[in-house]
Structure 1
């Protein structure tokens, strides 16, 4: 009697486990992500022809649904609002109006000298400038203000006492060597600017708002070839500096000062 041993048959044959099946899902995800970024790039700069071509091609690939989507060009073309820019523009508008009002008041105060061509009031990107011929303020080769100029500058100071802007006083000379106690035009121009600053302080203007600068002959407004040009270059400029500089502002409020020959 013979016995045959037979191996028990498994109820089903197990398939070997595939450890790389995740790659299929991963590749699908990467493909969709790539398509998403391509779409975002395509609509970042609106080109209607390219957009429609891309939309048709993508719609065909995805079952013909994408071609029906049309870009909202009105929304895409609208600029992104910038609250900081709007706020600065409003500040510049208010500052421009304030400086214009100040320029008008200064011109009215200095009206007699403006008519004589000895003073010029201008509004520019720096602020409001009152340019005064040196012959109005000082005797030849002197740094002491004349009685007439003290009265005019005191009236200017009265307008600036309640103002909030910084003030820069600049002294200018011609290119001729000085013939007085000062070694050069640097000292003469600086002392004349400091004299005006001192009068403003005595009139109640806060010292921390004031700056005195001497330029000597380095910023002429006319040629130093003749007495008329040299007279124009001898001057003092009082500039009320804008708190919000506006590069678009360049408003002369009065024609250029007339030639006023005067001794240094």
Structure 2
């Protein structure tokens, strides 16, 4: 007698992971939204519009969003209302982009006016300069500040400037004090002449209250040093810069962390000829560039 095998049937396993599809669509759209927000903060107007248009077009081609335009969640913001499914999604239009840009420009314009009024009333006198927009700053422009500092330097070094011993000038955001090396140093020597030490002391006193990184750079002409003490112009220029920097640091009001020394040799000559004007030491104050230390201070 043949036995019948009992057929065991099992119920089909119910798929409980269908929510992952909707969740993936939601995360894709959310990612696209933040990419657009990031682009607004990083790109210029024309670049942002082109980027948004390309992003919307690519998402439509993939079938992730539809061509239906939604409504703004809040005035001046970026967002849409409606379902976030693959069949009923909403897109950010170029008109929304223009609206956001107009609102942003208006807000920045009002901020600029408010800061200008506060600065005029002296409310920002003790506020450090930090850049909040490509065209807005909390304090007067660095060019204006540099011009005031240049006038201060020229006034403090007026007699030395008239005697032709130093030159003080502004180059962009740099204040440059140029010391003629043939006057301050013996020929092919790194040692500062004693009669010029008071001049360096006077320079250090004049720059101690001017904010910015101080760079002491030694320069030479193209003629190699005749003394066997120095291998080449690089070494001579660097040691001359060190001599001036050490003298400046005798002023205890100057933070050593503000100072750096460079030996440029004959690489940055003022003239192509072998002129004595190329033989010099420059004290440069770089303004408008914050350092890590400035952010650490309260």
Q: TM-score when scaled to structure 2?
A: 0.53
Note if contact 1:92-1:244 (Cα within 8 Å) is conserved in structure 2: no
Distance 2:230 2:101 in 1: 68
Structure of higher CA gyration radius: 1
Distance 1:93 1:215 in 2: 33
Segments of 5+ residues of structure 2 without an aligned counterpart are 1-64, 71-79, 81-89, 112-130, 291-298
Note if contact 2:211-2:287 (Cα within 8 Å) is conserved in structure 1: no
Distance 2:139 2:279 in 1: 33
Instruction: Identify the residue that residue 19 of structure 1 maps to in structure 2.
Output: none
Query: Post-superposition shift, 1:236?
Result: 0.6
Instruction: Identify the residue that residue 34 of structure 1 maps to in structure 2.
Output: 68
Instruction: Indicate yes or no: 2:183 matched with 1:136.
Output: yes
Instruction: Identify the residue that residue 242 of structure 1 maps to in structure 2.
Output: 287
Q: 2:197 aligns with which of 141, 146, 150?
A: 150
Report 1 or 2 for greater relative contact order, CA contacts < 8 Å, sequence distance ≥ 6: 1
Instruction: Indicate yes or no: 2:264 matched with 1:198.
Output: no
Distance 1:163 1:40 in 2: 49
Distance 1:76 1:87 in 2: 15
- When residues 87 and 217 of structure 1 are mapped into structure 2, their CA distance, relative to the original with a 3 A threshold, is closer
Note if contact 2:67-2:91 (Cα within 8 Å) is conserved in structure 1: no
Q: 2:146 aligns with which of 99, 116, 139?
A: 99
Instruction: Identify the residue that residue 218 of structure 1 maps to in structure 2.
Output: 267
Distance 2:221 2:94 in 1: 64
Q: TM-score when scaled to structure 1?
A: 0.59
**CA offsets 1:89-114 (integer angstroms, 9 cap, x no match):** 32462543433222112112222332
**CA offsets 1:204-259 (integer angstroms, 9 cap, x no match):** 222221111100001111012x5xxx2111011100111438xxxxxxxxxxxxxx
Q: Number of residue pairs matched?
A: 185
Distance 1:154 1:76 in 2: 53
Query: Post-superposition shift, 1:86?
Result: 4.6
